[in-house]
């Protein structure tokens, strides 16, 4: 019992709270991102995600556990990709581009919406542990959602930006890009490991976050 008491006293509950807030934020942003891919595909005629029960806000349906761990530890991770069958689309390239764009767009919209209650709490709510935790969650999730949205717009496979870019390519170049899509992850790992472009990404996230704060009157 004495050992358990000492262990309890050494726990940093501020750090545990921050870790819990970060985990919830990651799960929320990834879930919205993947669900909106599926919704966009369904709207364009592809029922694949719906049939596989991926049109859900249950994060367990979207989590890739290793990808989640890497996001928490290294700041670069992934969820289980939503299955999309472009054969259902009237125009496959355009359909894939719109489906891909739905993920980053949903993250940017989510960030803007989260900052509205954050602004109300900051302006009108009295200080309490609960209110501060809620404010931390809303602002950190907004920043994370912006980062996830902007990162996915990078035109390197398998990120969404590559599929958006592909709509501008000739069909032959598009097929080549899709064929070697799986190798793009290694290029991303290398860029992240070397910190290439990290400064510009941070500046972009800060700029969008500041813009959204001004929009909501923060």
* Catalytic member of 21, 31, 32, 34: 34
Other CB atoms within 10 Å distance of the CB of residue 57: 11
Q: Which residues lie below 8 Å from residue 43, measured CB to CB, with a gap of 6+? A: none
Is residue 34 flagged as an active site residue?
yes
53 in the Ramachandran plot: left (φ > 0), alpha (ψ -120 to 50) or beta?
left
Tokens of 10: 């050494």
- Catalytic positions, please? 34
């Amino acid at each position: 019992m004495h050992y358990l008491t000492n262990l309890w006293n050494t726990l940093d509950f501020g750090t545990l709270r921050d870790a819990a807030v970060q985990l919830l934020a990651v799960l929320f942003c990834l879930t919205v991102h993947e669900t909106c891919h599926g919704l966009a595909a369904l709207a364009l005629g592809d029922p694949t995600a719906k049939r596989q029960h991926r049109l859900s806000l249950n994060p367990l349906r979207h989590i890739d556990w290793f990808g989640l761990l890497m996001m928490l530890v290294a700041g670069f991770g992934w969820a289980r990709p939503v299955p999309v069958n472009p054969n259902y689309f009237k125009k496959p390239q355009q359909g894939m581009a719109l489906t891909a764009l739905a993920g980053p767009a949903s993250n940017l919209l989510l960030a803007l919406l989260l900052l509205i209650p954050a602004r109300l709490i900051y302006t009108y709510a009295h200080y309490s542990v609960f209110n501060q935790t809620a404010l931390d969650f809303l602002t950190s999730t907004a920043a994370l959602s912006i980062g996830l949205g902007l990162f996915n717009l990078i035109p390197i496979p398998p990120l969404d930006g590559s599929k958006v870019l592909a709509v501008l390519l000739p069909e032959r170049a598009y097929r080549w890009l899709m064929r070697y899509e799986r190798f793009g992850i290694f290029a991303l790992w290398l860029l992240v490991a070397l910190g290439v472009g990290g400064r510009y990404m941070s500046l972009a996230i800060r700029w969008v976050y500041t813009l959204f704060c001004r929009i909501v009157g923060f």
